[in-house]
């Protein structure tokens, strides 16, 4: 065990994974579809149930995206600072906050690797599904440094959120990349003994239209060719059930699962 360099294992596994690292421009391009896909996700409710937000919390939400967690958190805590390197994600977040008359959010456009400006005290630091870094040790140390009371990291568990059978059906190789076990082990190596909970989503999801069901899968595989699109169509036809009310139920072989890793810093 002592010989295993979890930071290197994480970096190497990330370089090989099917889902390639994204730039701020990539996330800008994906911002609208990402926000739409996650607008009503049970993931948010389940994570908030685990977090049990307190009214006095000041939260730092790193890789906030369009505010899937920032917005509901802001309704329950004193203040949320949202950091993201995608300007479009932050624009969507601000738009939602304005529409809902939420005034206790500040946003900072910055990357994990940047020197963040003086951002004041935060009780809780949250990095939900946003550890898109090569230097895992650097990111975890940063989280630990900024967290006044508790640090929370949500990472992939196993193949989630990808569907390996979809990759096989389309004919693409699937390499999942690193998951939460790298985070746990690296934390252990730096003397942090974190707790883990799991969020399991439903294996089947319901969509209003075929297009919506398509979008829920198509994001996983980049630059689908015409032939691959046809194969994906066949795959979805085989896994979709049309409900009596005309909606579409997509049966996934396995429910998506996320690991919620948390530790107290004070």
Phi, psi (5° rounding) for residue 162? Answer: -85, 160
The two three-digit tokens of residue 82, written as one number: 């949202």
How many Cα neighbours within 13 Å face the side chain of 47? 23
Please give the size of the binding site for ligand SAM, defined by CB under 6 A: 17
Q: Exposed, middle or buried by CB within 10 Å (0-12, 13-18, 19+), for 87? A: middle
Question: Closest approach of Cβ 242 to ligand SAM, in Å?
Answer: 29
Residue 85 interacts with ligand SAM (CB under 6 A)? yes
Residue 68 interacts with ligand SAM (CB under 6 A)? yes
SS percent in the chain: helix, strand, coil, step 5: 40, 20, 40
* Binding mask of the shown chain, residues 90 to 129, with x at each position contacting ligand SAM by CB under 6 A: ---------------------xx---------------xx
* Nearest residue to 130 (alpha-carbon basis) of 265, 240, 266, 258: 258
Pick out residues in 19-48 that bind ligand SAM (CB under 6 A): 27, 38
Question: Closest approach of Cβ 128 to ligand SAM, in Å?
Answer: 4
Residue 160 interacts with ligand SAM (CB under 6 A)? no
Helix, strand, or coil (residue 48) = helix
Question: Closest approach of Cβ 38 to ligand SAM, in Å?
Answer: 6
Q: Which of 35, 89, 151, 259 binds ligand SAM (CB under 6 A)?
A: 89
Question: 15 vs 234, which CB is nearer to ligand SAM?
Answer: 15
**How far apart are the C-alpha atoms of 214 and 241, rounded to whole Å?**
13
Helix, strand, or coil (residue 40) = coil
Phi, psi (5° rounding) for residue 70? Answer: -55, -45
Pick out residues in 198-237 that bind ligand SAM (CB under 6 A): none
Question: 10 vs 85, which CB is nearer to ligand SAM?
Answer: 85
Question: 153 vs 169, which CB is nearer to ligand SAM?
Answer: 153
Q: Which residues bind ligand SAM (CB under 6 A)?
A: 27, 38, 63-65, 68-69, 84-86, 89, 111-112, 128-130, 132
């Amino acid at each position: 065990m002592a010989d295993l360099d979890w930071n290197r294992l994480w970096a190497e596994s990330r370089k090989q994974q099917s889902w390639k690292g994204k730039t701020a421009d990539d996330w800008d391009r994906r911002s609208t579809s990402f926000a739409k896909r996650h607008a009503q996700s049970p993931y948010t409710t389940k994570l908030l149930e685990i977090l049990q937000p307190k009214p006095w919390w000041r939260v730092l939400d790193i890789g906030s995206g369009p505010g899937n967690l920032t917005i509901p958190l802001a309704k329950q805590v004193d203040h949320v600072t949202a950091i993201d390197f995608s300007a479009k994600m932050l624009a969507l977040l601000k738009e939602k906050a304005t529409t809902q008359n939420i005034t206790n959010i500040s946003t900072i456009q910055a990357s994990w690797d940047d020197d963040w400006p003086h951002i004041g005290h935060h009780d809780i630091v949250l990095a939900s599904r946003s550890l898109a870094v090569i230097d895992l040790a650097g990111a975890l140390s940063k989280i630990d440094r900024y967290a006044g009371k508790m640090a929370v990291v949500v990472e992939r568990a196993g193949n989630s959120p990808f569907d390996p059978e979809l990759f096989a059906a389309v004919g693409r190789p699937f390499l999942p990349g690193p998951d939460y076990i790298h985070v746990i082990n690296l934390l252990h190596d730096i003397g942090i003994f974190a707790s883990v909970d799991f969020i399991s989503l439903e294996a089947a999801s319901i969509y209003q239209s075929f297009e919506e069901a398509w979008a829920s899968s198509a994001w996983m595989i980049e630059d689908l060719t015409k032939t691959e699109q046809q194969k994906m169509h066949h795959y979805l036809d085989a896994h979709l059930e049309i409900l009596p009310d005309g909606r579409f139920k997509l049966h996934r072989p396995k429910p998506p699962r996320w690991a919620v890793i948390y530790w107290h810093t004070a």
